[in-house]
Amino acid sequence: MTDIDSLKDYQSVRQLAIRSLFEIFEQFSEGTVIVDREARVVWINQRYAQRFGFESAEQAIGRPVEQVIPGSLMREVVSSGRPMLLDILDMPKDPLVVMRVPIRDDAGQVIGGIGFALFDELRSLSPLITRYQRMQAELASTRSLLQARQAKYSFGHFIGTSAASLEVKRRARRGAASEAPVLLLGETGTGKELLAHAIHSASPRAHKPFVSINAAAIPENLLEAEFFGTAPGAYTGADRKGRPGKLQIAQGGTLFLDEIGDMPLHLQSKLLRVLQEKEYEPVGSNEVIRSDIRLIAATSIDLDAAVRDGRFRADLYYRINVLPVDIPPLRERLEDLPALCEAILEELCESGHARHELDASAIALLRQHAWPGNVRELRNLLERAVLLSDQPLLDAATLRATFGVLQPLPAEAAERATTLSPGEDFQGARERFERELIAGVLAEHAGNVVEAARRLGLGRSTLYKKLAALGISS
């Protein structure tokens, strides 16, 4: 019979292949071990036994495999019947790449297992392992960067139920549903950046990067590179590999350009090209890069006046002023003060400060301040009061000591503060006025009811009744 004829016998070929495979692995591997169904060693080659401190292979026979090969998973292979075709066995010096397979009888029952420590394969596999580890590290870095570029706030973080606040959120939500530029207008500290985050979070680009850049915080000679990126070696000291700009990082997502009113004129023209032609060139490069970003701009200056004075390009202003959102200062939405204070105090508590609350006199005092720094100033004041006060209830006297200089409201703002709040009737407005008036007078006299009653022209018993009815603590 020829060799070709013998290969036609399936069973014969199968047995030859199994024997050849075993001989190859046994010959070229670092070691081979066979265990029974109880995971006891029934055979181990000499070099493998010596690797684990046995003078001869016979000394390892009959022992549980874990006593011979610490960390071995042969017992798991025998009990589960599932092979481990590629694994790493930790060793005191160099780890081994191992393969473990179950042994079955003619009925298919697992009667043991065989394991091979592949000879010198770890070095052969090291380029593959190194490449896999590098890919994993790059993936983790990309995920971390993307997570850092996600929006941090939603519309729920913009606290307020006043008519002005509700209108701001209504217009901002309209902007979130559109791809058109949004222009946020308002004084410093009113929450422009928070709203920019919220608009991105509610937009179809929410899963893409949110990148912010402050035109007023970066020196003019560096702003162009920060915005458009640089080509390799674009100028002395530039990165040899080039550096991506904020436009490239924000690709597919949202670019929040804060204080756009402070952007230099020559950059304004380049930004206009990005918005109109959807393309730009990095500094020192002739390469044209396509741009896919959604722009949210913000400023605290009067852009109309800046256009008239020639400090801001009219064509860019018309391009970004598609959906303007005017954010009112805090002095124009004083009815939001209680909710804002509650949210800020809760946030301070979550960050490790003791829990504090404001009484009616404290709220009344806060309503008398002009708040030039808006919500940012309010948070600063409350945090300072929390740090300085040993009492959980903050009253007007505590806040007055914290204020420094109380800036009274302008006449028009004070007039607005006396108008009806949404859903408020005459009776509710009168109670609110009495509560604020009495609390304010009490605060002026450090809680002295007798002095406050004399200042209000009320009898002491009458004032006590009103304090009880209005829920004011003396």
Q: What is the mean pLDDT of the chain?
A: 82
Confidence of residue 196 (pLDDT cuts 50, 70, 90): very high
Least confident of 37-51, 106-120, 431-445: 431-445
- Nearest one of 108, 117, 109 to 73, comparing CA atoms: 117
Q: Residue 420: which pLDDT band, with cuts at 50, 70 and 90?
A: low
For 441-457, the pLDDT digits (tens) are 776 676 778 888 887 77
Check residue 401 and give its pLDDT: 83
Distances (CA, A) of 269 to 80, 273, 274: 69, 6, 9
**Does 135 or 392 have the greater pLDDT score?**
392
DSSP letters, 136-172, are: HHHHHHHHHHHHHTS----GGGS---SHHHHHHHHHH
CA distance 13 to 21: 12
| Residue 129 pLDDT > 70 | no
Pairing assessment for the beta strands 84-89 and 96-104 based on DSSP bridges: antiparallel
pLDDT tens digits for 394-410? 888 888 888 777 777 66
* CB of 28 closer than 8 Å to CB of 119: yes
Q: How far apart are CA 123 and CA 45, in angstroms?
A: 22
Q: What is the tens place of the pLDDT at every residue in 250-283?
A: 999 999 999 999 999 989 999 999 999 999 888 8
**Average pLDDT of 298-306?**
92
Residue type, 160: G
- Residue 112 binned pLDDT confidence (cut-offs 50, 70, 90): very high
pLDDT value at position 149?
59
Q: Which residue has the higher pLDDT, 236 or 367?
A: 367
- 181, 225 in Cβ contact below 8 A? no
Query: Is the alpha carbon torsion for 401, 403, 404, 405 positive or negative?
Result: negative
- What are the start-end ranges of the E strands in 93-231? 96-104, 110-117, 182-185, 210-214, 229-230
Taking the whole predicted model, whether its pTM rises above 0.75 is answered as no
Please give the DSSP secondary-structure letter assigned to residue 261.
G
pLDDT tens column, 57-108:
999 999 999 999 988 899 999 999 999 887 878 777 777 888 899 998 888 8
Nearest-angstrom CA–CA distance, 355 and 412: 35
Location of structure tokens 């075993």 = 22
Confirm if 251 and 291 have CB atoms less than 8 A apart: yes
pLDDT at 325 > cutoff 90: yes
User: In the chain, what percentage of residues exceed pLDDT 90?
Assistant: 37
More confident residue, 186 or 404: 186
Q: Which is higher by pLDDT, 89 or 21?
A: 89
- Domains of the chain in sequence order: 3-122 (3.30.450.20), 155-328 (3.40.50.300), 331-470 (1.10.8.60)
